[in-house]
């Protein structure tokens, strides 16, 4: 029998990350934060001073990632790159901007594909990203697409960064969210679109708990 996967796709700040963590904990499933893989590749590119135009080198950096995801009791994941905790670096604006650039390179996406599929392990997986339902796990039984207005997403990201002790400017965040959306939606490989049959939720006016409950109802899970 195939191992169950719940895909949660959507733009940054839609609440995907938090909601996927809660879902994975409630369901007792593993968690794939695929955005972290693109962010890690971006970080490797920045740290090793790789020219973004040298596609082969960027793809090789994606293949070579030495990364450990270490789930914490609170549902968060510690991320170690070459043994170094890069949790804060991954969320920096510079890393985010570079992540969406490396994500537009087909060779990078190809390099990360097998790694992502390997997260599908018993008893099941919650996969958070942009193309989880369309490209990486097209046979997933439950697909969710989460959206929210850009303004709400900028506010959420701002709060998240402040809580992590990272300085952030809200109008700058809004602009970078809009730019990133545009790149993610219009790129030729794995553009950000809802998978066929996906349950689409606009979370702008919903609490995290309300979104989680809607998804649990959708997949027919009762606590």
Which residue numbers belong to the known binding site?
Answer: 10-18
Residue nearest to ligand C5P (CB): 35
Which residue from 134, 184, 195, 212 is in contact with ligand C5P, where contact means CB under 6 A? Answer: 184
* 144, β-bridge pairs: 8, 199
The one-character DSSP state at 133 is I
Which residue from 23, 30, 39, 119 is in contact with ligand C5P, where contact means CB under 6 A? Answer: 39
* 199, β-bridge pairs: 144
Q: What is the largest CA-CA distance in the chain?
A: 50
Unique residue bearing structure tokens 């700040």:
13
Q: What binding mask, one character per residue, do residues 5-34 give for ligand C5P by CB under 6 A, x or -?
A: -------x---------------------x
Nearer to ligand C5P, 38 or 119 (CB): 38
Distance CA 135, CA 32 (A): 14
Which residue from 129, 144, 153, 161 is in contact with ligand C5P, where contact means CB under 6 A? Answer: 129
Torsional class of 59: left (φ above 0), alpha (ψ -120 to 50), beta (otherwise):
alpha
Q: Is 131 in the site for ligand C5P (CB under 6 A)?
A: yes
Nearer to ligand C5P, 100 or 203 (CB): 100
For residues 221, 128, 118, 142, the Cα torsion angle rounded to the nearest 10 degrees is: 40
* Contacting positions for ligand C5P (CB under 6 A): 12, 34-35, 38-39, 99-100, 103, 129-131, 180, 184
């Amino acid at each position: 029998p195939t191992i169950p996967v719940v895909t949660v796709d959507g733009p940054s700040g839609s609440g995907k990350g938090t909601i996927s963590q809660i879902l994975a904990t409630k369901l007792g499933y593993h968690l794939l934060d695929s955005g972290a893989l693109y962010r890690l590749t971006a970080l490797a590119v920045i740290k090793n001073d790789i020219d973004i135009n040298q596609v082969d080198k960027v793809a090789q950096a994606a293949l070579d990632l030495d990364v450990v995801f270490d789930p914490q009791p609170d549902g968060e994941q510690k991320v170690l790159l070459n043994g170094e905790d890069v949790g804060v670096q991954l969320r920096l604006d510079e890393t985010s901007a570079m992540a969406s650039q490396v994500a537009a390179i087909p060779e990078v996406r190809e390099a990360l594909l097998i790694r992502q599929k390997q997260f599908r392990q018993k008893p099941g997986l919650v996969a958070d990203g942009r193309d989880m339902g369309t490209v990486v796990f097209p046979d997933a039984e439950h697909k969710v697409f989460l959206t929210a207005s850009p303004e709400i997403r900028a506010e959420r990201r701002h709060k998240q960064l402040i809580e992590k002790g990272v300085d952030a400017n809200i109008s700058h965040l809004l602009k970078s969210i809009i730019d990133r959306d545009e790149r993610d939606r219009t790129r030729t490989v794995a553009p950000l679109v809802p998978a066929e049959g996906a349950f689409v939720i606009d979370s702008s006016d919903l609490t995290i708990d309300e979104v989680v409950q809607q998804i649990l109802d959708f997949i027919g899970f009762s606590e």
